[in-house]
């Protein structure tokens, strides 16, 4: 651990360092700014001198010379602003040989004034920016960096006499410099530049020398400040604190219990006050120590008695922990081996479930933990209903039982029997234990039993109806045959009698279908090609489909195996399903005020076949309105129909019986985008 002396030294050094850094930086920026300002002032002063010389020559000397000289005479030494300015500054440059004072042009009369590459760039800059008059900054002239100032001289009315057309210029001016250079310049164009440039290294050298001097003085001053602060802290604080520390260390190194002696330090500051209070506290501690010795002896006897009692309690607790661990392991074994799902929920948040529950719903513990039980339900309504039923029963009976449905992770719906009870009936926040049984198979068996009982009752009813109908029907049919023979010459009556016979035949067929609901088919089964049966049925109703503007799309597997079945019965089944699809789409179009009476009703029927190793599958779908979800479970029940006046509700029951007689099954479902898909699954062999 660092001493307070070291810490103070580091703090003082850090403060001085930060202060000196700020001071040096501020000094550097001030020096830099001053030198930049001085350099700019020098450039501005030189440029203004140059411009003033030009202005004086142009406004004062030149007019006088034109008046004194004959017409056409021009003396550059007295009348050319560039000539006069250059010769004056050439004398000045003897004292500043590295400085550049120059008039530059891109096509000068005097080659001395020819602009270099960087000066040409500046001429283009001023031509492209006519509002600019002066440019100041750093620039390379040749290969040497300079601080430079450029002033643009633009063509004005007063300049046209010498820089306009050669014919208007003084004669001896043209003879001296020729008729090409610096003539025919338009107004506003840059004639040339006045250039003032100071070498950058000259400025940098002056700046560096001055900076070294100033920084040296600052460094010496800061060093003296640091040394002064160190001596002040040493004599006022750290030496006195060291004496206090040595006293504490000496006292702590003594063996056993020693008397705390007072510290003697003179002064009238805070440290002296601290030591005075310490000495008073030391005297009180010495008194308390004597009293404490007596108390310790007394407490030691009490602790010995308490220690013995604690040993007995620890032994009892160890035995309780062993029994608790055994009970916990037993409970875990029961949960793991239980054939039903078990779990814990708090305010319907899942805390824990056993393996059987996870297998039942298809979720892992990681996917269920801390999730709301809503994840298990297919709808908000079922989630709310189940919770309400459970809560109501728990409030009345202490436990709750309800049948519900879960949606597994794979999307399959299962029926479950849910039981729940609170861990602590007086505090429901401690959670509830629940058990779940999968009763899907049981429900299916119940539904099959109910359906079988319905079919049996339907069979008895159909037999009675058939007996009551067939007897008078046979008599009526015989009478119609006799009447047809008797009045065979009456063509109109014969046709009407034939229509009546057809109607009675349909009644007979309906009665036969009723009997077939509960009676296996007697038609012989044979090797049958499903694809051929479907194609024949589609051809059979093609005119009916065309009349209702319904399209049929066939997607039949090319390698479909033959199955052992009754072609007649399967034809009846396929024809029923196709007609149902046509009726659904036709009735929908009529109810929606669509075209009727042979007009375009629209719609599409899709039939496709696939096969697996064990099964042959036929799917028939349409684009109709679909079946209400509440009716899907009843569509194969006898006499169930939503067609009002159309149909008796036995078509799908007959199809179900035909497929069941072939060892298969048939299902119906609504498609996501509308319509119904009927799926027939038959054994492949």
**Domain of 652: which CATH number?**
3.30.565.10
**Each residue of 258-297: pLDDT tens digit?**
667 777 666 666 677 777 777 777 777 777 777 777 788 7
Q: CA 87, 92, 97: angle at the middle one, nearest 5?
A: 110
Report which listed range, 172-176, 412-416, 458-462, is most confident.
412-416
Where a domain ends, among 392, 412, 438?
438
CB-CB contact of 182 with 109 (8 Å): yes
Among the ranges given (147-151, 388-392, 478-482), the one the predictor scored with the smallest mean pLDDT = 478-482
Distance between CA atoms of residues 585 and 620, nearest Å: 14
**Residues shown for the chain:** 685
Whether 619 shows a pLDDT value over 90: the answer reads yes
Q: What percentage of the chain carries pLDDT values higher than 70?
A: 83
Give 305: exposed, middle or buried? Use CB within 10 Å, 0-12, 13-18, 19+.
Answer: exposed
How many domains would you assign to the chain? 4
Where a domain ends, among 515, 539, 555?
515
Tell me the chain's radius of gyration from C-alpha atoms: 58
pLDDT attached to residue 599: 40
- Same-domain pairing of 416 and 497: no
**Could you give the 3-state DSSP secondary structure of residue 565?**
strand
- Same-domain pairing of 535 and 501: no
The residue ranking higher by pLDDT, 167 or 561, is 561
Over range 612-631, report the average pLDDT.
89
Alpha carbon of residue 571 to chain centroid: 55
Whether 516 shows a pLDDT value over 60: the answer reads no
For tokens 């063996």, the residue is 255
- Same-domain pairing of 68 and 105: yes
| Max CA distance (Å), the chain | 158
The residue ranking higher by pLDDT, 547 or 254, is 547
Distance between CA atoms of residues 118 and 124, nearest Å: 10
Residue 331 lies in a domain: no
Instruction: Give the H or E element holding residue 678.
Output: strand 676-683
Whether 595 shows a pLDDT value over 50: the answer reads no
Secondary structure (DSSP) of 569-628:
HHHHHHHHHHHHHHHHHHHHHHHTT---TTS----EEEEEEEE-SSEEEEEEEE-S----
pLDDT range class, residue 50, cuts 50, 70, 90: confident
pLDDT attached to residue 568: 83
Burial 216-237 (b: 16+ CB within 10 A, else e): eeeeeebeeebeebbeebeeeb
Q: What are 630's two structure tokens?
A: 């509440």
Among the ranges given (122-136, 140-154, 207-221, 318-332), the one the predictor scored with the smallest mean pLDDT = 318-332
pLDDT range class, residue 471, cuts 50, 70, 90: low
Q: What are 114's two structure tokens?
A: 């020819």
Where a domain ends, among 495, 515, 535?
515
CATH of the domain at 344: 3.30.450.20
- Same-domain pairing of 411 and 533: no
- Same-domain pairing of 569 and 629: yes
pLDDT attached to residue 219: 81
- Same-domain pairing of 138 and 76: yes
pLDDT attached to residue 644: 46
Report which listed range, 72-86, 114-128, 204-218, 594-608, is most confident.
114-128
Residue 370: C-alpha distances to residues 87, 348, 373 (Å): 95, 10, 9
Residue 291 lies in a domain: no
Alpha carbon of residue 374 to chain centroid: 24
- Same-domain pairing of 425 and 466: no
User: How many helices (H) does the chain have, and how many strands (E)?
Assistant: 19, 16
CB-CB contact of 152 with 193 (8 Å): yes
Residue 495 lies in a domain: yes
The residue ranking higher by pLDDT, 388 or 41, is 388
Residue 622 lies in a domain: yes
Residue 245 CB partners (closer than 8 Å, separation 6+): none
CB-CB contact of 84 with 77 (8 Å): yes
- Same-domain pairing of 544 and 481: no
Give 608: exposed, middle or buried? Use CB within 10 Å, 0-12, 13-18, 19+.
Answer: middle
Whether 652 shows a pLDDT value over 60: the answer reads yes
Q: What are 494's two structure tokens?
A: 């014969």
Tell me if the pTM is above 0.85. Answer: no
Distance between CA atoms of residues 500 and 511, nearest Å: 17
CATH of the domain at 119: 3.30.450
**Each residue of 538-548: pLDDT tens digit?**
887 888 888 88
Over range 153-158, report the average pLDDT.
79
pLDDT attached to residue 258: 63
**Each residue of 656-684: pLDDT tens digit?**
888 888 889 999 899 988 899 999 999 98
**Could you give the 3-state DSSP secondary structure of residue 523?**
coil
Residue 176 lies in a domain: no
Over range 161-185, report the average pLDDT.
74
The residue ranking higher by pLDDT, 163 or 617, is 617
pLDDT range class, residue 461, cuts 50, 70, 90: low
Q: What are 147's two structure tokens?
A: 């601080």
pLDDT range class, residue 615, cuts 50, 70, 90: very high
Q: What percentage of the chain carries pLDDT values higher than 90?
A: 17
Distance between CA atoms of residues 480 and 501, nearest Å: 7
Relative orientation angle of helices 270-337 and 239-253, to the nearest 10 degrees: 60
Whether 649 shows a pLDDT value over 60: the answer reads no
DSSP 8-state symbol, 116: -
Distance between CA atoms of residues 392 and 399, nearest Å: 9
Residue 308 lies in a domain: no
- Residue 351 belongs to domain spanning: 338-438
pLDDT attached to residue 332: 67
- Summary mean pLDDT of the chain: 79
Distance between CA atoms of residues 7 and 21, nearest Å: 21
Residue 470 lies in a domain: yes
- Same-domain pairing of 487 and 572: no
Distance between CA atoms of residues 469 and 477, nearest Å: 12
pLDDT range class, residue 646, cuts 50, 70, 90: very low
- Same-domain pairing of 510 and 393: no
- Same-domain pairing of 12 and 42: yes
Residue 354: C-alpha distances to residues 196, 358, 381, 413, 476 (Å): 93, 7, 27, 20, 71
- Same-domain pairing of 533 and 501: no
Residue 275 lies in a domain: no
């Amino acid at each position: 651990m660092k001493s307070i002396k070291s810490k103070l030294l580091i703090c003082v050094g850090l403060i001085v360092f930060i202060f000196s850094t700020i001071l040096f930086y501020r000094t550097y920026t001030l020096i830099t700014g001053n030198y930049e300002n001085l350099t700019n002032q020098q450039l501005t002063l030189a440029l203004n001198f140059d411009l003033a010389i030009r202005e004086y020559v142009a406004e004062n000397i030149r007019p006088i010379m034109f008046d004194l000289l004959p017409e056409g005479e021009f003396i550059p030494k007295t009348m050319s602003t560039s000539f006069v300015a250059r010769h004056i500054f050439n004398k000045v440059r003897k004292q500043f040989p590295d400085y550049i004072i120059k008039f530059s042009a891109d096509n000068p009369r005097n080659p001395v004034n020819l602009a270099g590459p960087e000066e040409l760039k500046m001429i283009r800059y001023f031509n492209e920016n006519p509002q600019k008059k002066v440019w100041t900054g750093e620039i390379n002239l040749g290969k040497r960096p300079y601080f430079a100032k450029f002033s643009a001289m633009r063509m004005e009315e007063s300049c046209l006499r010498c820089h306009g057309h050669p014919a208007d210029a003084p004669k001896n001016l043209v003879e001296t410099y020729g008729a090409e250079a610096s003539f025919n310049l338009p107004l506003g164009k840059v004639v040339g530049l006045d250039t003032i440039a100071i070498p950058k290294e000259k400025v940098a050298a002056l700046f560096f020398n001055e900076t070294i001097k100033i920084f040296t003085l600052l460094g010496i001053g800061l060093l003296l400040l640091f040394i002064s602060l160190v001596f002040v802290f040493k004599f006022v604080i750290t030496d006195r604190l060291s004496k206090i520390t040595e006293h504490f260390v000496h006292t702590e190194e003594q063996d056993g219990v020693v008397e705390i002696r007072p510290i003697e330090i003179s002064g009238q500051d805070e440290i002296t006050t601290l030591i005075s209070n310490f000495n008073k506290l030391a005297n009180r501690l010495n008194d308390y120590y004597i009293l404490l010795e007596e108390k310790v002896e007394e407490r030691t006897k009490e602790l010995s008695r308490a220690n013995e009692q604690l040993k007995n309690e620890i032994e009892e607790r160890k035995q309780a922990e062993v029994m608790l661990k055994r009970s916990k392991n037993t409970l875990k074994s029961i949960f793991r081996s239980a054939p039903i799902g078990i779990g814990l929920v708090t305010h319907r948040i899942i805390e824990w479930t056993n393996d059987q529950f996870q297998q039942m719903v298809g979720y892992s513990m990681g996917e269920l933990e801390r999730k709301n039980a809503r994840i298990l339900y297919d709808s908000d309504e079922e989630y709310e209903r189940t919770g309400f039923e459970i809560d109501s029963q728990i409030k009345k009976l202490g436990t709750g039982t309800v049948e519900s449905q879960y949606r597994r992770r794979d999307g399959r719906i299962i029926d479950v029997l849910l039981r729940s009870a609170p861990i602590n009936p007086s505090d429901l926040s401690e959670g509830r234990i629940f058990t779940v049984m999968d009763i899907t198979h049981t429900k299916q068996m119940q539904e099959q039993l109910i359906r079988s009982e319905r079919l049996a009752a339907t069979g008895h009813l159909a037999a009675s109806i058939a007996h009551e109908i067939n007897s008078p029907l046979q008599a009526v049919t015989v009478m119609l045959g006799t009447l047809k023979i008797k009045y065979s010459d009456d063509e109109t009556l014969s046709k009407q009698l034939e229509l009546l016979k057809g109607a009675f035949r349909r009644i007979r067929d309906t009665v036969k279908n009723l009997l077939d609901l509960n009676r296996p088919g007697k038609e012989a089964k044979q090797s049958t090609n499903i694809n051929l049966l479907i194609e024949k049925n589609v051809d059979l109703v093609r005119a009916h489909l065309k009349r209702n503007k319904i399209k049929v799309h066939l997607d039949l597997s090319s390698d479909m195996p033959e199955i052992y079945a009754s072609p007649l019965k399967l034809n009846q089944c396929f024809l029923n399903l196709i007609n149902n699809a046509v009726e659904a789409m036709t009735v929908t179009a009529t109810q929606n005020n669509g075209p009727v009476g042979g007009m375009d009703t629209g719609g599409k029927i899709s039939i496709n076949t696939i096969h697996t190793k064990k099964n042959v599958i036929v799917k028939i779908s349409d684009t109709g309105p679909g079946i209400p979800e509440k009716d899907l479970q009843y569509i194969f029940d006898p006499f169930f129909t939503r067609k009002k006046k159309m149909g008796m509700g036995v078509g799908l029951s007959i199809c179900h019986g035909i497929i069941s007689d072939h060892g298969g099954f048939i299902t119906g479902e609504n498609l996501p985008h509308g319509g119904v898909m009927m799926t027939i699954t038959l054994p492949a062999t």
